[in-house]
Amino acid sequence: MTYHIDYAYTCHAGKVRPNNEDNFWCCGEYLPVSNHGTEEIRTGLRLRESLPVMSVFDGMGGESQGEMAAWLASDSLEHFYRENKGMLRKAPELFLTEACKNMNQAVCDYGREQRISAMGTTMAMIAFGKKEAYICNLGDSRIYRFSKGNFSQISRDHVLKSCRFGKAPLTQFLGVEETEMKLEPAIAAVPYQDRDRYLLCSDGVTDMLSDREIEEIMKLEDSIRDIAHALLTRVLDKGARDNTTIILCEVRADNRPFKTWLLQKKG
């Protein structure tokens, strides 16, 4: 059985924010520090055996600190993945844990060197193994799954639950020294099936759309690209008050040899 991952991703500055503090790492692709997002919905596909990894980052901090934190995390993940990709086959949870430590250190080191007291970024990541998808998150960037008609959030929000007014502060994120707070990413293994869909997104999506609205779009019998476009369009129609990053992927099973499948896909 050949499994492949179809994916679509986009990053948009929104209609209110003057700059884009979001970033992503999607199978080796990410944005430079200063950017205005992607100009289109980008797509791709990866064979499961290639160990695809995708992640969303939502930077925090004024005066370009948020976008720097998000870029540092994505750049750190790029190098960590290249050097430790093989770890995903034998110890995927360890890969996620060590990747988080590595990204956190990169943000902390920069903040210390530049004497910046407050900068950080959320993170939501998915890595595809042989039979399971391994998910990991810090902060309030979320991961949703749509499987066999069932829709649910499978990440865990790290927010202060006792907050009554305004947006709840985060209790976990990348960019905090271990001496101040222990880094505790939420990690889980989720068995996947043919046609399962996963959505990774920053709060630019979840602050504008309810879970029900997201579910309605995720259920559409459209291509992954069209569904990602529909999500972004709905966010923009509702005002897009924040930067918005979307990574949408679908697991597909095929009994044909991969070379045969790829030739037919291209044709």
What is the CATH classification number for the domain harbouring 161?
Answer: 3.60.40.10
Neighbours of 131 (CB within 10 A): 11
Q: Say if strands 244-254 and 2-12 run parallel, antiparallel, or are unpaired.
A: antiparallel
Question: Tell me, what's the pLDDT at 243?
Answer: 96
- The 10s digit of each residue's pLDDT in 170-210 is 999 999 998 888 999 999 999 999 999 999 999 999 999 99
Q: Which of 110, 112, 108 is nearest to 100 (CA)?
A: 108
The answer to whether the beta carbons of residues 122 and 141 sit under 8 Å apart is yes
Q: Rounded to two decimals, what is the model's pTM?
A: 0.94
- CA distance linking residue 95 with residue 134, whole number of Å: 10
The distance from CA 41 to its chain's CA centroid, rounded to whole angstroms, is 15
Counting Cα atoms < 13 Å in the Cβ hemisphere of 251 gives: 27
- CA distance linking residue 9 with residue 5, whole number of Å: 13
- CA distance linking residue 9 with residue 184, whole number of Å: 27
What are the backbone dihedrals phi and psi of residue 142, each rounded to the nearest 5 degrees, phi first?
A: -115, 165
Neighbours of 115 (CB within 10 A): 6
Q: Domain residues for 148?
A: 2-266
The answer to whether the beta carbons of residues 24 and 59 sit under 8 Å apart is no
- The 10s digit of each residue's pLDDT in 123-143 is 999 999 988 999 999 999 999
Mean pLDDT of 83-105: 97
What is the largest distance, in Å, between two alpha-carbon atoms of the chain?
56
- CA distance linking residue 85 with residue 88, whole number of Å: 6
Q: How many residues in the chain?
A: 267
User: Angle at CA 231, nearest 5°, toward 226 and 234?
Assistant: 120
Total domains in the fold of the chain: 1
Question: What is the Cα Rg of the chain in Å?
Answer: 18
The answer to whether the beta carbons of residues 73 and 136 sit under 8 Å apart is no
- Between the alpha carbon of residue 85 and those of residues 58, 103, 185, the distances in Å are 24, 15, 19
Neighbours of 62 (CB within 10 A): 9
Q: Please report which helix (H) or strand (E) contains residue 147, including its range.
A: strand 142-147
Q: Sign of dihedral through CA atoms 15, 226, 212, 38?
A: negative
Q: Who has greater pLDDT, 166 or 227?
A: 227
Give the confidence band of 262 by pLDDT, cuts at 50, 70, 90. low
- The 10s digit of each residue's pLDDT in 210-247 is 999 999 999 999 999 999 999 999 999 999 999 999 99
Q: Which residue has the tokens 């988080």?
A: 100
